[in-house]
Amino acid sequence: MAHLLHIDSSAAPAGSVSREVATTFREAWEQEHASGTVTHLDLAAHPVPHLTPAGISARAKTAGDMSADEAAAAALQDRLVSELRAADAYLFSVPMYNWSVPSPFKAWLDQILIAGRTTAFGDEPESVKGRPATVIISAGGGYGPGTPREGWDFATPYLRQVLGQGLGLDVHTIQIELTMAHHSPAMADLRELADTNRANAHSDAAKRARLLAQEIGR
């Protein structure tokens, strides 16, 4: 049965729109694959350590030549890469923080993106190239064409680049904007649009999950 790796990166365990939409995806996925496997990594509850000098140097050494710190760093990377490799599909929920991605998600990427091993630039032995990834990206404001902050969204293009080019995944994005509309008086006029945007994201997530589950389950 299909195996989904689901990673949440919002720092908020409750009230997170990206987590809510990811839950909708998960529920639809599990309805299609009741006996399938889901590995859930909550980076708020269980953050991945940032890459260290030992983690970098260990990549160029054999096990017998590593220091204790390098061996520990290598073991962490091996575990995370194994989780990545075990999945048939990926679900990433990533809110925009300060116009970019949360640092815990960047830390996870730095641990699993290993040149010559998992990247998509050659015949890497542990590549996941071509596997489907659904990326749920939420933002408090609006950053599309014609908005006052057009061009301030550095999270979306980064994620498409690092996941689509760096790992070679088949990336599908679901974007939710204006999530702060009900919390900011200055955005009161945008609340109806925000609600529509949110509802559409939930609908898109459910449809995407069902479609992927059916395709992978064939």
- pLDDT tens per residue, range 48-76: 999 999 999 999 999 999 999 999 999 99
CA distance 91 to 78: 20
In the predicted structure, residue 183 carries a pLDDT above the cut 60: yes
141-146: long-range contacts, CB 8 A cutoff, minimum separation 24: 141/177, 141/178, 141/180, 141/187, 142/177, 142/178, 142/190, 143/177, 144/177
Q: If you average pLDDT over residues 127-133, what whole number do you get?
A: 96
Q: Spell out the domains of the chain, with CATH numbers in brackets.
A: 3-50+88-217 (3.40.50.360)
Decide: pTM greater than 0.75.
yes
- pLDDT tens per residue, range 143-173: 989 888 999 999 999 999 999 999 999 999 9
Quickly count: other Cβ atoms within 10 Å of residue 187's Cβ.
18
Q: Which two tokens stand for residue 130?
A: 């071509």
CA distance 208 to 218: 16
- pLDDT tens per residue, range 202-214: 999 999 999 998 8
Q: How does the average pLDDT of the chain come out, rounded?
A: 94
CA 176 to chain CA centroid, Å, is: 14
Percent of the chain whose pLDDT exceeds 90: 86
Q: If you average pLDDT over residues 115-144, what whole number do you get?
A: 94
In the predicted structure, residue 216 carries a pLDDT above the cut 90: no
- pLDDT tens per residue, range 8-43: 999 998 889 999 999 999 999 999 888 789 999 999
Q: If you average pLDDT over residues 107-127, what whole number do you get?
A: 94
